[in-house]
Chain A
Amino acid sequence: MNPYLPILFMLVIATAFALAAMALALFVGRPRPGPERKFAPYECGIEPVGSARDRFPVKFYLVAMLFILFDIEVIFLYPWAVVFRQLGVFGLIEMAIFLGILLVGYIYVWRVGALEWQ
């Protein structure tokens, strides 16, 4: 039997539960009609001002971008860690070079202030 098949079972059970619960809620907790402001987005009791889908700082975009790059680096570490004992000192040196180059990038990103939140 494929060892990944039970993961599918788990996924199906979890999804079925979530869907069933949401369907039940839809059925039992049907919203009752009310004035329009009952359905207005909550802004601490004040009438909503402006659009809710406004622009947001590019900072978040930068973090996501840096995350992808470092995430790829982390992913590379896993196959290396698995065969590390066979590679020995050689493995140590090659990963030191890899991480050394990326460390330069990390320091650059830090120095340039991309990790600051203000």
Chain B
Amino acid sequence: MLFDLIASFIKAVLVFAVVMSFVPFLIWLERKLVAWMQQRIGPNRTGPFGLLQPIADAVKLIIKENIFPSGVEKITYFLAPMMSMIPALAAFAVIPFGSPVRIMGRTVNLQVADVNIGILYILALSSLAVYGAVLAGWSSNNKYSLLGGLRTSAQMISYELPIGLSVVSIVLLTGSLSLNEVVRSQASHGIWNIFPQFLGFIILLISYNAELNRAPFDLGEAESEIVAGYHTEYSGFRFAMFYMGEYVNMVTVAALVTVLFLGGWQAPFGPEIPLLWFLIKIFAFILLYMWVRATFPRVRYDQLMALGWKILVPASLANLAMTAVIIVLGGPNAVRILSVGSIVLAVLVGLVLKAAVALRTKSAPGLAPPAGAGS
């Protein structure tokens, strides 16, 4: 009992420390990578390769004035930045990051809290993350903040639907809501979920990009329209809190996707070092998001909502239907049939979309890619 208590406390502290220490590194990495992709140099003044830039930023932000602009709703304004970060950290508690190890003759799970509703717990917490944006926007006494907060919250709740619907398909394959069980089932199927759930993976990739408010879906902080969105009026360390929260959220999402689709801590080849493979997968996923950010231009808000409600929701329902039918009819071969079926379905969805867009462009400029971006 006491051992468990102490062990889980130490694990919680360690997870917190590791996730928080990723944040400055990720900020540096993103700035550097995006700079390279845009043929710039990026941070290179502070420390080797500009590695100390995030530290310098942090120090700068701490000693900046923490202004309460006139007319702000002080309590809400003060609490909002925390509300975007705390759910992300708390969600990380149920993520298994390695196979169980033996310490002092006892088995210790490499997971802060091994609960058997892990998947639902994470979804529930991510639905609480809306409050940071909406309250910051409302309390700031600024039109742009309010608009940004509203946009962000409507976007986040809209994209929770395709997320929830595609994760159900994983639960169908696993038969359990425990994240440990998800990893184990992928080991016993001998194939990572990304193959039998290829379409689900694509949907989750897009939806979480929108859920994290990252480019090309960062409508809530579109600087060309609404200054900085819901954190326009935030200065100093309160702004830094939003900034850190964004990256903590990204790490949590990357870890979740790694567990759900990429086999968790399992090694695809080479040495069996669970923790290392887990980190490699997380970073691969984060690098993909940074690449996406540097590649795609920002979408319009009507395009964003149409993508969520009209494309991703039906697509994830189709994925769910296919998964359920094949599991019932396919018997022991279900996972193998699904691996082919999901790719076929993904191609099919792509073709339908292409046809729909072609039809649209003929009749009216709506979803069409060129569609006068300025209007």
Chain A residues within 8 Å of B, Cβ to Cβ: 1, 3-7, 9-11, 13-15, 17-19, 21-22, 24-26, 28-32, 36, 38-44, 48, 50, 52-54, 56, 60, 63-64, 67, 70-71, 74-75, 77-78, 81-82, 84-85, 88-89, 91-92, 95-96, 99, 103, 106, 110, 115-118
A-B contacts, 12 listed (Cβ < 8 Å)? A3-B114, A6-B11, A10-B15, A11-B86, A13-B13, A22-B82, A29-B66, A39-B69, A52-B140, A63-B305, A64-B157, A115-B305
Give CA–CA (A77, B172) in the complex, Å: 10
- Chain B residues with Cβ below 8 Å from A60 are 150, 153-154
Chain B residues within 8 Å of A, Cβ to Cβ: 1, 4-5, 8-9, 11-13, 15-16, 20, 62-71, 78, 81-82, 85-86, 89-90, 92-94, 112-116, 119-121, 127, 138, 140-147, 150, 153-154, 157-158, 160-161, 164-165, 168-169, 171-172, 175-177, 227, 232-233, 236-238, 240-241, 301-302, 305-306, 309-310, 313, 317, 320-321, 324-325, 327-328
Residue from the list A9, A53, A92, A116 in contact with B328, Cβ < 8 A: A92
**Dominant SS at the B interface?**
helix
Q: How far, in Å, is B366 (CB) from chain A's closest CB?
A: 9
- Chain B residues with Cβ below 8 Å from A92 are 324-325, 328
Residue from the list B65, B67, B143, B177 in contact with A52, Cβ < 8 A: B143
Residue from the list A17, A31, A36, A42 in contact with B68, Cβ < 8 A: A31
- Chain B residues with Cβ below 8 Å from A96 are 321
- Chain A residues with Cβ below 8 Å from B121 are 7
Report whether B150 and A56 are in contact in the complex, using a CB–CB cutoff of 8 Å: yes
Report whether B1 and A39 are in contact in the complex, using a CB–CB cutoff of 8 Å: no
Report whether B177 and A18 are in contact in the complex, using a CB–CB cutoff of 8 Å: no
Report whether B86 and A117 are in contact in the complex, using a CB–CB cutoff of 8 Å: no
Other than A74-B161, A81-B168, A92-B325, give 19 A-B pairs with Cβ distance below 8 A. Answer: A3-B113, A6-B93, A9-B9, A10-B92, A10-B93, A14-B86, A14-B90, A29-B63, A29-B237, A41-B71, A42-B142, A42-B232, A43-B142, A52-B140, A52-B142, A53-B141, A71-B127, A99-B321, A117-B305
